[in-house]
């Protein structure tokens, strides 16, 4: 061989960057290049003369022996992958091309050229693992991954999660390219298609919409679609992800409900009213119409809640909410502002009196008794109304003004409605002043008890006295009908009522001591006092304190008060009757009681309301007097102002009367003087004091 070629071959062997080696027919190394030493980690003196076998990883030993024989003894060429063990014990993957070494036509050994594949093998392995990993994800995640060729409208792939989300298999989707679209909720479809149009411009889209599952159930999905364009900017493929977000949506709805709905009644809450009213104002503005807010507060709800328990109170609130909702026009919105307060938004009206009509209907529906848990409850409401745009342009203004108007409805005696007017603000201030004044009335000695005789009109005998409360504020008397409802509302009536009771008992004791003994004292009692847990003790204290026999005491309960909480009233009145106290039903005929109720109450007297005499309702009076007779109840006619009234009543069989004809209510001095005169006339003895 020419020297140049020989040198070239030697340098090709020695300087080859790939590991090269030569073994003899016994498999012992006769030559190795530097790269081979590098890959095995052995030095020349350790390898030359040594067998190749110890280098081979044990799993590859049989294969390497077989290949060696094929090359060394049969002259074949072999390309194979094999694992070796480096000197430091590490594993290396190499690819070898082995050919026989021919010397003068004889095989004298094997020459091998290796390539270190360790790094590539590692990469391949990692790639395979990643691929398997991805495939696993693709197969198992509950997100549906899909890919579609736009031109052929062929589905390239879709992950099995489609079965879980849509209830249709991968094949179903592959076979019917239109299936996906058919499953979208018809209401959402236009919106979905509009969004999809932007895919053609290369825009990614994200949207949420409803679909119908194969089983007919409604699900929410999140759709993220990415367009893939070709080099000309034409839409080539769509890749997408569909996620079932039904649970998230349900949570959102629940959270929204929590934030915007009242948990008890299910009605929108105060926060929601703000939005609803603001929206209503905007609509009214656009249509050139009015919107109104009705602010409704139940009358005396607290008493029912406190006396019959919160559970029944809650039931009553729900039942009232339902009635209110059923008495308003279809497009009106009812909300609970909290406690016993509701707001009603009325739209499409041309003047406030339309809202007044709605209020009337609500009051009417509410006034029918509620049958709850075996109780028959009567509850009324006070309503205030303000309107947009006349009473304000902001939510706060309208609500505040409706609230002020409602306050005035309360002051007017409840169970009514009031439209806001500009002078209401003044009345509101007035009412606040009244409240403040009333709070100090007791300690400032501004209260007085006046008395009005109740007579037997047949013989002009004084049968009793009604104690009537007076409040002298800033030098003038405030009518009881104005301040008593306020005292009830602000929780002062218990203290005031107790004071009246003590004064009346004390005064009666004094008159008895003066020799005027055969009469009763009739004291008005508010329903709030009856609701006090210890009312009978309060009454007994007042009697005992001045040594007054309970037989001298009559307590007057108005018909409406008695009916507001029949069960409780019957119970407490029975206790009072057992103590020897007589009970009168005051203002009879102004409430809703039926004979059935009268029979239930342990009462002795009914006082026919002044309005019957004033309005000449003779037939009703006759009937009431007859009914009282058959129930063996005493009757007193109130507000008798003329001899004509007196005679008429006598003709009907009613003898006991009270009114200006006999005497106006007077203070202690006036009534004491009247009694003195009376006793002298009747020849009653007057004891010396």
Binding site for ligand C2E (CB under 6 A): 452, 468-469, 479-481, 484, 497, 500, 524-526, 556, 558, 586-587, 610, 638-641, 658-660, 665
Residue 112 interface partner, choices Mg ion, ligand C2E, none, CB cut-off 5-8 Å depending on type: none
- By DSSP bridging, strand 634-638 and strand 656-658 are parallel
Nearer Cβ to ligand C2E (508/558): 558
Closest distance of CB 555 from ligand C2E, Å: 10
- By DSSP bridging, strand 381-388 and strand 290-298 are antiparallel
Nearer Cβ to ligand C2E (492/525): 525
Closest distance of CB 289 from ligand C2E, Å: 43
Nearer Cβ to Mg ion (94/487): 487
Residue 503 interface partner, choices Mg ion, ligand C2E, none, CB cut-off 5-8 Å depending on type: none
Q: Which DSSP string corresponds to 249-315?
A: HHHHHHHHHHHHB-TTT-SB-HHHHHHHHHHHHHHHHHHT-EEEEEEEEETTHHHHHHHH-HHHHHH
Letter string b/e over residues 488-512, b meaning 16 or more CB atoms within 10 A of that residue's CB: bbeebbbebbbbbbbbbbebbbebb
Q: How far apart are CA 271 and CA 274, in angstroms?
A: 6
Counting DSSP H helices and E strands in the chain, the numbers are: 27, 26
Nearer Cβ to ligand C2E (109/659): 659
Residue 165 interface partner, choices ligand C2E, Mg ion, none, CB cut-off 5-8 Å depending on type: none
Nearer Cβ to ligand C2E (592/660): 660
Q: How far apart are CA 603 and CA 555, in angstroms?
A: 10
Closest distance of CB 266 from Mg ion, Å: 42
HSE toward the beta carbon, residue 404, CA cutoff 13 A: 22
Choose, by CB under 5 A, the member of 223, 556, 559, 645 that binds Mg ion.
Answer: 556
Q: Find out whether 611 and 590 touch, Cβ atoms under 8 Å.
A: yes
Cα-atom radius of gyration of the chain, to the nearest Å?
Answer: 51
Residue 276 interface partner, choices ligand C2E, Mg ion, none, CB cut-off 5-8 Å depending on type: none
Q: Find out whether 205 and 199 touch, Cβ atoms under 8 Å.
A: yes
Closest distance of CB 359 from ligand C2E, Å: 26
Burial class (CB in 10 A: 0-12, 13-18, 19+), 161: buried
Q: Under the phi-then-psi rule, with left for phi > 0, alpha for psi from -120 to 50, and beta for the rest, what region is 374?
A: left
Closest distance of CB 657 from Mg ion, Å: 12
Task: Output phi, psi for 480, to 5 deg.
Answer: -55, -35
Burial class (CB in 10 A: 0-12, 13-18, 19+), 129: exposed
Closest distance of CB 571 from Mg ion, Å: 22
Q: Hey, which bits of 67-193 come out as E strands?
A: 78-85, 91-103, 106-116, 143-149, 154-158
Nearer Cβ to Mg ion (55/636): 636
Closest distance of CB 588 from Mg ion, Å: 8
User: Judged by CB under 5 A, which stretch of 257-265, 473-481, 485-493, 633-641 contacts Mg ion?
Assistant: 633-641
Site for Mg ion in 313-342 (CB under 5 A): none
Q: How far apart are CA 364 and CA 385, in angstroms?
A: 17
Q: How far apart are CA 204 and CA 201, in angstroms?
A: 9
Nearer Cβ to ligand C2E (116/556): 556
Nearer Cβ to ligand C2E (515/591): 591
Nearer Cβ to Mg ion (93/556): 556
Residue 489 interface partner, choices ligand C2E, Mg ion, none, CB cut-off 5-8 Å depending on type: none
Nearer Cβ to ligand C2E (484/635): 484
3-state secondary structure 301-338: HHHHHHHHCHHHHHHHHHHHHHHHHHHCCCCCEEEEEE
User: Does residue 641 sit in helix, strand or coil?
Assistant: coil
Site for Mg ion in 229-268 (CB under 5 A): none
Q: How far apart are CA 179 and CA 172, in angstroms?
A: 8
Q: How far apart are CA 667 and CA 127, in angstroms?
A: 107
For Cα atoms 243, 248, 250, give the angle at the middle one, nearest 5 degrees: 125
Nearer Cβ to ligand C2E (32/553): 553
* 587 near Mg ion, rule: CB under 5 A: yes
Closest distance of CB 617 from Mg ion, Å: 15
Residue 660 interface partner, choices Mg ion, ligand C2E, none, CB cut-off 5-8 Å depending on type: ligand C2E
Q: Tell me the site size for Mg ion, rule CB under 5 A.
A: 5
* 524 near Mg ion, rule: CB under 5 A: yes
Closest distance of CB 468 from ligand C2E, Å: 4
Closest distance of CB 526 from ligand C2E, Å: 4
Closest distance of CB 358 from ligand C2E, Å: 31
Choose, by CB under 5 A, the member of 297, 299, 403, 586 that binds Mg ion.
Answer: 586
Residue 481 interface partner, choices ligand C2E, Mg ion, none, CB cut-off 5-8 Å depending on type: ligand C2E
The residues that touch Mg ion, with contacts defined as CB under 5 A, are 524, 556, 586-587, 638
């Amino acid at each position: 061989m020419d020297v140049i070629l020989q040198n070239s071959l030697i340098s090709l062997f020695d300087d080859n960057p790939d590991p090269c080696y030569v073994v003899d027919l016994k498999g012992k190394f006769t030559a190795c290049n530097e790269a081979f030493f590098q890959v095995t980690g052995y030095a020349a003196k350790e390898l030359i003369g040594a067998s190749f076998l110890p280098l081979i990883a044990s799993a590859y030993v049989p294969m390497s022996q077989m290949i060696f024989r094929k090359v060394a003894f049969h002259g074949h060429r072999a390309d194979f992958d094999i694992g070796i063990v480096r000197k430091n014990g590490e594993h290396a993957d190499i690819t070898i091309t082995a050919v026989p070494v021919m010397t003068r036509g004889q095989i004298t050994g094997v020459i091998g050229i290796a390539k270190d594949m360790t790094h590539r093998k590692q990469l391949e392995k990692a790639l395979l693992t990643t691929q398997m990993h991805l495939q696993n994800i693709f197969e198992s995640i509950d997100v549906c991954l899909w890919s579609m060729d736009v031109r052929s409208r062929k589905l390239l792939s879709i992950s099995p999660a489609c079965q879980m989300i849509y209830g249709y298999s991968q094949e179903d989707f592959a076979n019917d390219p239109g299936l996906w679209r058919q499953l979208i909720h018809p209401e959402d479809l236009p919106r979905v298609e509009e969004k999809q149009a932007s895919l053609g411009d290369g825009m990614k889209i994200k949207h949420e919409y409803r679909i119908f599952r194969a089983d007919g159930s409604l699900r929410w999905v999140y759709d993220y679609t990415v367009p893939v364009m070709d080099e000309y900017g034409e839409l080539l493929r769509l890749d997408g992800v569909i996620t079932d977000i039904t649970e998230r949506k349900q949570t959102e709805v629940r959270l929204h409900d929590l934030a915007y709905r009242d948990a008890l009644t299910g009605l929108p809450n105060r926060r929601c009213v703000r939005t609803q009213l603001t929206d209503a104002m905007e609509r009214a503005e656009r249509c050139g119409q009015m919107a109104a807010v009705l602010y409704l507060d139940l009358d005396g709800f607290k008493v029912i809640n406190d006396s019959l328990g919160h559970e029944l109170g809650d039931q009553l609130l729900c039942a009232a909410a339902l009635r209110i909702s059923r008495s308003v026009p279809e497009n009106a919105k009812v909300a609970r502002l909290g406690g016993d307060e509701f707001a009603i938004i009325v739209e499409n009206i041309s003047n406030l009196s339309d809202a007044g009509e709605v209020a009337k209907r609500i009051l009417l529906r509410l006034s029918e008794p509620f049958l709850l848990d075996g109780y028959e409850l009567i509850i009324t409401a006070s309503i205030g109304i303000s309107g947009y745009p006349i009473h304000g342009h902001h939510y706060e203004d309208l609500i505040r003004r409706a609230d002020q108007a409602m306050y005035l409805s309360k002051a007017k005696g409840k169970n009514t409605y009031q439209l806001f007017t500009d002078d209401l603000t003044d009345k509101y201030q007035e009412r606040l002043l009244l409240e403040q004044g009333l709070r100090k009335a007791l300690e400032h000695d501004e209260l007085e008890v006046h008395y009005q005789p109740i007579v037997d009109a047949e013989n002009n005998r004084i049968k009793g006295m009604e104690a009537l409360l007076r409040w002298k504020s800033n030098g003038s008397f405030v009518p009881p009908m104005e301040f008593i409802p306020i005292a009830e509302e602000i929780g002062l009536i218990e203290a005031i009522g107790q004071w009246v009771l003590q004064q009346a008992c004390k005064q009666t004791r004094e008159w008895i001591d003066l020799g005027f003994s055969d009469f009763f004292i009739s004291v008005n009692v508010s329903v709030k006092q009856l609701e006090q847990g210890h009312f009978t003790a309060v009454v007994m204290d007042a009697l005992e304190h001045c040594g007054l026999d309970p037989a001298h005491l009559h307590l007057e309960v108005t018909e409406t008060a008695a009916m507001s909480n029949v069960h409780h009233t019957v119970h407490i009145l029975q206790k009072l009757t057992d103590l020897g106290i007589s009970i009168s039903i005051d203002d009879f005929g102004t409430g809703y009681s039926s004979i059935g109720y009268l029979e239930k109450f342990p009462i002795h007297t009914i006082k026919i309301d002044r309005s019957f005499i004033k309005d000449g309702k003779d037939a009703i009076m006759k009937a009431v007097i007859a009914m009282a007779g058959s129930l063996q109840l005493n009757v007193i006619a109130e507000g008798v102002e003329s001899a004509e009234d007196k005679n008429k009543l006598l003709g009907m069989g009613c003898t006991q009367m009270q009114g200006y004809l006999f005497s106006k209510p007077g203070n202690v001095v006036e009534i004491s003087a009247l009694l003195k005169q009376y006793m002298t006339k009747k020849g009653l003895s007057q004891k010396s004091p």
